[in-house]
Structure 1
Amino acid sequence: MSVIVELTIPSGAFELGRILRVEGATQITLETMVPLGGRPTPFIRIRNDEREMFERSVREHPSVNAIQLVNTHGDETLYSLDWEPSDSSLLRRILDLDAVLLDATGTADTWKLELRFPSHEALSKFQEFYITEEIKVSIKRIYNPTKPDAGPWYGLTPPQRETLTHAVEAGYYSLPRQISTQELADTFDISDQAVTERLRRGISTIVMNTLLVDKQED
């Protein structure tokens, strides 16, 4: 049975947090993680950032091969990151345990992660790892998305839930479609690409946490 855990971790204790260093009120969100060439390639979205300073800091990190600007919209910037995660990193351990990173948001001090592990045993191994490595992880919530006490949201983040709900209510999935992606984006003051990614990840999360749970157990 899969299990979802929500946790916080100091930015300096998380490899991506050390690479993607930000200052002040800047917020950074991991939009998706795509396996390319055997490596997890993150797409990251930053708000209120000092772009030149951020890019220079990331490029100077020894594990980074390249950071590429994808697009900008208002005070948001989307990048793709080509990097080499170390074998002993927290993220590498997460991937080795077949866990899925559902959501990750960071600031100058803290990252909030939402992870889905394939079993409680895998979660226990993850906990053993960060305790042994003396990584300061604070568990906020652990739940099984199919249990009655899991709540009605099935792992959706608040932005995903809000966007999906509004999209359905406004007729985005109706035939004919009653609202465009750009109009949805304008509602939340984000880019067209950001709202599309939010909808895609939200739907994927719901399916993985409901329809595919039995398949994962088999």
Structure 2
Amino acid sequence: MTTYSILTIPLEEIALAETAERLPDVYFYVEQTAMADTDDTLNLWISTENPSAIGGALGSDPSVTDYERLKGSDDEYLYRITLSKEIRLVRELVHSYDGTITEVYGDADGWTLEVRFPDREKFSDLDQEFEEFGISPTYQSIESFDDSDEELMSVLTESQRRSIELAVEEGYYQVPREASLKDLATEMGISHQALSERLRRAEKQLAEEQIAGPLDDTSDQRERNV
């Protein structure tokens, strides 16, 4: 059975602790493919109410050796930064136990990783390895899924699925809304900005999945009719 876990590691054990100290409301989101690569850089989305201070915060952060702003919008900015050795270590340890990092995001409370393993035994071995390297994760959840659940998990990460489920249960999508984003964030124990980003990305994934299906079906039907 596939094992999924959501774990949080203190910023000071990985990277960007000083950036978060200077930007207390900051929210980080790593582009998913970055944690599958083997090079020393990652693409990092950064959200904060003080975007003009991002460059200064990154420039003075001892865990950042180089950074470049790639693009930005009204509420988030994409930077390419050089990976700290600690991030590389976490990534390498997960991969060495056949694990896959499906999502990485963070705020002042720490870096949160969603990881997937082919079985629970490998996950337990990784936990012991973390301890040996002085990495102290806090586990938010550890769950095992049958293969029949893999299709859902390939569309949404575990945290995205939970967020969507809670939003539906609490009436966030009702008109008028029966729960605010702040209410949901408080219940989940995360910042409202982090939840907003998570829901937005989950909604985008679900929309793309729904759109792709009908388009493919239409294409197949046209081919059959030719």
Q: TM-score, normalised by structure 1?
A: 0.62
Q: TM-score, normalised by structure 2?
A: 0.60
The alpha-carbon deviation at position 152 of structure 1 amounts to 7.8
Counterpart in 1 of 2:31? 31
**Root-mean-square deviation over aligned CA pairs:** 3.3
Q: Equivalent residue of 1:21, what SS?
A: helix
Counterpart in 2 of 1:163? 204
* Aligned pairs for 1:201-212 within 5 A: none
Farther-moved stretch of structure 1 (92-101 vs 66-75) = 92-101
Counterpart in 2 of 1:139? 139
Structure 2 Cα separation of the partners of residues 69 and 88 of structure 1: 21
Q: Equivalent residue of 2:20, what SS?
A: coil
Q: Equivalent residue of 1:39, what SS?
A: coil
Q: Is the helix fraction higher in 1 or 2?
A: 2
| Counterpart check, 1:58 vs 2:47 | no
Structure 2 Cα separation of the partners of residues 97 and 44 of structure 1: 25
C-alpha deviations, 1:132-156, integer Å up to 9, x for none?
34533221222233257x6984262
- Matched AA of 1:78: L
What is the aligned length? 172
Counterpart in 1 of 2:3? 3
Structure 2 Cα separation of the partners of residues 87 and 102 of structure 1: 15
- Matched AA of 1:138: T
Structure 1 Cα separation of the partners of residues 95 and 150 of structure 2: 26
Structure 1 Cα separation of the partners of residues 18 and 121 of structure 2: 30
The alpha-carbon deviation at position 108 of structure 1 amounts to 1.2
Give yes or no for contact 1:39–1:84 (8 Å, CA) kept in 2: no
- Matched AA of 2:47: R
Structure 1 Cα separation of the partners of residues 49 and 26 of structure 2: 6
- Matched AA of 1:132: E
Change (3 A) 1:91 1:58: farther
Structure 2 Cα separation of the partners of residues 137 and 86 of structure 1: 13
Farther-moved stretch of structure 1 (51-60 vs 103-112) = 51-60
* Aligned pairs for 1:14-93 within 5 A: 15-18=14-17, 21=20, 23-32=23-32, 33=34, 38-48=38-48, 50-61=50-61, 64-86=64-86, 89-93=89-93
The alpha-carbon deviation at position 75 of structure 1 amounts to 1.6
Change (3 A) 1:86 1:165: closer
The alpha-carbon deviation at position 104 of structure 1 amounts to 1.5
Counterpart in 2 of 1:186? none
- Matched AA of 2:121: E
Contiguous gaps of at least 5 residues in structure 2: 161-198, 217-226
Counterpart in 1 of 2:98? 98
Give yes or no for contact 1:153–1:161 (8 Å, CA) kept in 2: no
Larger radius of gyration: 2
The alpha-carbon deviation at position 61 of structure 1 amounts to 4.6
Contiguous gaps of at least 5 residues in structure 1: 177-218
Q: Equivalent residue of 1:6, what SS?
A: strand
Give yes or no for contact 1:27–1:47 (8 Å, CA) kept in 2: yes
The alpha-carbon deviation at position 168 of structure 1 amounts to 4.7
